[in-house]
């Protein structure tokens, strides 16, 4: 115990007196989270389809125009803009903005559309009630008057967005068309009804479509830039401790301290254990700081607040598992690498590759199918996936056991490889 305690104190002293190392460990990852979250925020918002801006020119100014305008706004997917720089948008301006790519969708509701719809409805009702007697029709159809809604699309718009807009428009126009037909029908049959009685339009569909997420809790939490970037870059930063850790191991070997420690009874293992303990604590401090960035600092910049889920135990076990995996990888690299340069370049490049594969930069669900399959080889992916489970899917300890075990197993394997390599060097 004396050796372990002394070795831990030594590691802490070495660490806290290395300002550059401390910056790599704590400041740079926090800066990284800030920068990446802010950069990726707009991309994630588009992915969530929460802020698709739609220009609307409502020349109808009647029921159809209002229904489309209000309907689009009420979905939450579209941000409806009817004016730019406090000026109403004209058809010409709308066309110009879409063609220049300033906006991706524009909707023009032509003048008199609602009126045309009403006339059409009246003719339909009359026709139906006249039972084939065309002479008794009071309304003559005006072929020049039609209800027209023109949708302009930027050619680069994703097909899914295009489809969303068309579906929404179809929905709103159908509703308003039904309402207008019902109103026309009511007017026609009013004389036949007993005095004082009225027909009322129900409007709502008789079919209820329920939406629910497959997880038990946090149905309201969608993966936004904060929910992705904070855990992703935290895992990345935790793995980046391999740089100071391998540097520490190689320095000890180069200056002969490792040799001296190896010649002390039972000390080398103790020293290695102390490094693992100290760097585990470093990882946990990093993790705590990153969470603070997501909970406190990013919301100050207008970003969403990081949701932590409701199982702190799962969160602690998962972060410990990631820390163990990162430390194990660092010990292996530090044992095998023959110089600082080799360890730093191989270490950083390997973590970046594992991060790219593992869905740190681009979430795995956005990758092509082949990359999604490959991503499971990256321990960073196991970590991020586990955090997704805890943050977004309300996973408890039991649910994250596969990821935690995989990370711990990775740590065990890397440690064993390091010890085996060290043993081989003796011969």
Partner 1 sequence: MNPKTVIQLENITKFYRGTTDPAVKNISLQIPENAIFGLLGPNGAGKTTTVNMLCGLLKPTRGEIRVNGLLLPDHLKKIRQEIGVVPQDIALYPTLTANENLRFFGNMYGLKGTILKKRIAQCLNLLGLEEKAQRKVKTYSGGMKRRLNLIAGILHQPKILFLDEPTVGIDVQSRNVILTYLKELNIDGTTIIYTSHYLEEAENLCTHIAIIDYGEIIIEGRPEQLIQSKPEYTDLETIFLHLTGRRLRDN
Q: Are 380 and 358 in contact (CB under 8 A)?
A: yes
Phi, psi of 84 (to 5 degrees): -130, 130
Least distance CB 425 / partner 1 (angstroms): 9
Report if residue 265 touches partner 1, rule: CB under 8 A: yes
Binding to partner 1 by residue 263, rule CB under 8 A? yes
Residue 336 in the binding site for partner 1 (CB under 8 A): no
Is there binding between residue 261 and partner 1 (CB under 8 A)? yes
Separation between Cα atoms, residue 65 and residue 336, nearest integer Å: 70
Minimum distance from residue 16 beta carbon to partner 1 (Å)? 9
Instruction: Sort 87 into a burial class: Cβ within 10 Å, 0-12 / 13-18 / 19+.
Output: exposed
Query: Least distance to partner 1 from the beta carbon of 9, Å?
Result: 8
Query: Site for partner 1 (CB under 8 A): how many residues?
Result: 29
83-84/87-88 β-pairing: antiparallel
Q: Rounded to the nearest whole angstrom, what is the least distance from the CB of residue 258 to partner 1 in the complex?
A: 8
Which parts of 95-231 are beta strand (E)?
Answer: 105-109, 149-153
| Nearest distance in Å: CB 13, partner 1 | 6
Nearer to partner 1, 260 or 373 (CB): 260
Q: What are the tokens at 72?
A: 């689009």
Minimum CB distance to partner 1 smaller for 6 or for 75: 6
Give first-to-last CA distance, the chain, whole Å.
30
* Closer of 88 and 257 to partner 1 (Cβ): 257
Q: Which stretch binds partner 1 (CB under 8 A): 12-20, 131-139, 301-309, 321-329?
A: 12-20
Residue 14 interacts with partner 1 (CB under 8 A): yes or no: yes
Rg from Cα positions in the chain: 32
Look at residue 53 and give its three-state secondary structure. Answer: strand
CB closer to partner 1, 334 vs 359:
334
Those residues with Cβ within 8 angstroms of residue 75's Cβ, 6 or more apart along the chain or in another chain: 168
Q: Which residues bind partner 1 (CB under 8 A)?
A: 2-3, 5-7, 9-10, 13-14, 17-18, 254-257, 259-267, 270-271, 424, 426-427
């Amino acid at each position: 115990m004396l050796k372990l305690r002394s070795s831990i104190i030594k590691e802490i002293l070495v660490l806290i007196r290395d300002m550059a190392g401390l910056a790599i460990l704590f400041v740079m990852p926090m800066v990284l989270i800030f920068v990446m979250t802010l950069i990726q925020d707009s991309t994630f918002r588009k992915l969530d389809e929460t802020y698709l801006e739609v220009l609307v020119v409502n020349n109808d100014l009647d029921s159809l125009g209002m229904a489309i305008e209000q309907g689009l706004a009420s979905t939450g997917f579209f941000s409806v803009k009817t004016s730019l720089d406090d000026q109403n948008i004209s058809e010409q301006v709308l066309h110009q903005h879409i063609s220049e790519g300033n906006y991706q969708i524009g909707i023009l509701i032509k003048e008199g559309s609602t009126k045309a719809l009403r006339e059409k409805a009246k003719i339909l009702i009359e026709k139906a009630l006249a039972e084939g007697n065309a002479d008794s029709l009071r309304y003559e159809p005006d072929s020049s008057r039609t209800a027209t809604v023109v949708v302009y699309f930027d050619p680069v718009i994703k097909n899914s967005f295009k489809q969303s807009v068309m579906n929404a428009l179809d929905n709103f126009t159908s509703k308003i068309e039904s309402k207008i037909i019902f109103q026309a029908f009511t007017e026609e049959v009013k004389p036949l009804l007993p005095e004082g009685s009225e027909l009322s339009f129900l409007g709502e569909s008789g079919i209820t479509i329920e939406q629910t997420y497959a997880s038990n809790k946090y149905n309201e939490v969608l993966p936004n830039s904060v929910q992705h970037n904070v855990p992703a870059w935290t895992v990345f930063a935790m793995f980046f401790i391999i740089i100071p850790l391998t540097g520490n191991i190689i320095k000890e070997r180069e200056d002969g301290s490792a040799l001296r420690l190896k010649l002390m009874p039972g000390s080398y293992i103790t020293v290695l254990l102390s490094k693992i303990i100290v760097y585990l604590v470093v990882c946990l401090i990093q993790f705590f700081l990153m969470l603070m960035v997501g909970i406190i600092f990013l919301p100050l910049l207008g970003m969403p607040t990081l949701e932590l889920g409701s199982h702190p135990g799962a969160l602690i076990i998962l972060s410990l598992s990631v820390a163990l995996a990162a430390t194990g990888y660092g010990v292996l690299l530090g044992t095998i690498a023959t110089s600082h340069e080799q360890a730093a370049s191989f270490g950083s490049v390997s973590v970046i590759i594992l991060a790219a594969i593992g869905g740190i930069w681009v979430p795995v669900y956005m990758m092509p199918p082949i990359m999604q399959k490959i991503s499971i080889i990256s321990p960073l992916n196991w970590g991020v996936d586990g955090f997704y489970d805890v943050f977004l899917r309300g996973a408890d300890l039991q649910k994250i056991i596969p990821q935690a075990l995989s990370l711990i197993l990775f740590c065990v394997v890397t440690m064993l490889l390091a010890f085996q390599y060290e043993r081989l060097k003796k011969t």
